Amino acid sequence: MIPITVVDVRDAEDLVVEVLRSGAIAQGPMVKRFEDAFAAVSGTKHAIAVNNGTTALVAALQVLDLQPGDEVITSPFTFVATLNAILEAGATVRFADIRRDDFAIDPDAVAKTVTDRTKVLMPVHLYGQTADMGKLAPLAAERGLHVIEDSAQAVGASFEGKPAGSFGIGCFSLYATKNITTAEGGVITTDDDALADKLRVLRNQGMRARYQYEVAGHNYRMTDLHAAVGIPQLAKLDQLTAARQANAKRLSEGLAGTPGLDLPQVLPGREHVWHQYTVLVGPHAFLSRDELAAALTERGIGNGIYYPKIVFDYDCYAGHDLIPGARVEDFPVARAVSEQALSLPVHPHLTESDLDTIIETVREVLGA
């Protein structure tokens, strides 16, 4: 089987051993070292490490002091953590449809969705490419909205040279399958000194110093062990990204012209880091998306469906008070993409033989 992803953190062994031998494994100097390195990557003054990507989103919303009824606009095509974080923060969720070319929220749809209660715009930079921040950031500024970027899949990505996570408050995931991983972990990025200070207090049970409580806080801390896993990867992020980009280029060249298959695009001005290589299996393809996924699995090609439904289209969200009036049929692009999207292996550990096999197998089963 050619896997959809490979986790290799062997470079972290020396740092992990260093932490273990120190006898201090909770948040400490290794977390600070990781934060400094991450801030450099994100082009921001501050990077605040937390225990996972969902926590990053929740904390970013909490420090904005949202009130009941305040609205957050986000994408209906995303991992469920985006929605869960907004609900946990007690905000009202509004959705705007996506664009097919970048899988991200459509600025024109956002403009029609903003109300007097809207306080936050939360674009999702999906699959490793940013949303259209050239339109979304000015729209947010014009309407007086905070921007929280769900950058979980976009570490190292940029829009016109400006890194993901630097347009407002950036929220990153460091889960095991991400381009940079600490097994579990997250990071919040910002240039705002006051917000960074609030976030650091909030993640530490509301303490500025030991037993000096300033807010009702949480334990959102990252451990030095987790930070030690991530530091070597940040040091070689450019190398890892270049490998993903080369693999994506090879896939696009080899799959070009495959009947019924729409290939992912790198849009002008954007640096794509290829967390996933996601194709769309159109209605005129020889096989449906699900049939293609099954055929590839049978032939030893790992693949993934991210995501099979619109994010709120599950029974647990039906009738939720904080998701007013959301209906699947109101988001035709997101719905179509959820039925057609299929991700193929693009990770840095693929060999030339792997890439040839992926291309040949996809083309064969689709009748190319």
b/e 209-236 (16+ beta carbons within 10 angstroms → b) = eeeeeeeebbebbbbbbbbbbbbbbbee
CB–CB of 183/172 below 8 Å? Answer: no
Rg (the chain; Cα; Å): 21
In the residue annotation, 45 being an active-site residue is answered as no
| Secondary structure (3-state) at 39 | helix
What are residue 343's DSSP bridge partners?
278, 304
Q: Are the C-beta atoms of residues 48 and 35 closer than 8 Å to each other?
A: yes
Q: Which H or E run contains 178?
A: none
**Which of these is catalytic: 119, 178, 236, 249?**
178
Sheet order of strands, 46-50 included: 46-50, 186-190, 169-173, 146-150, 118-122, 71-74, 92-95
Q: Is 57 in a helix, a strand, or coil?
A: helix
Q: Which residues are catalytic?
A: 178
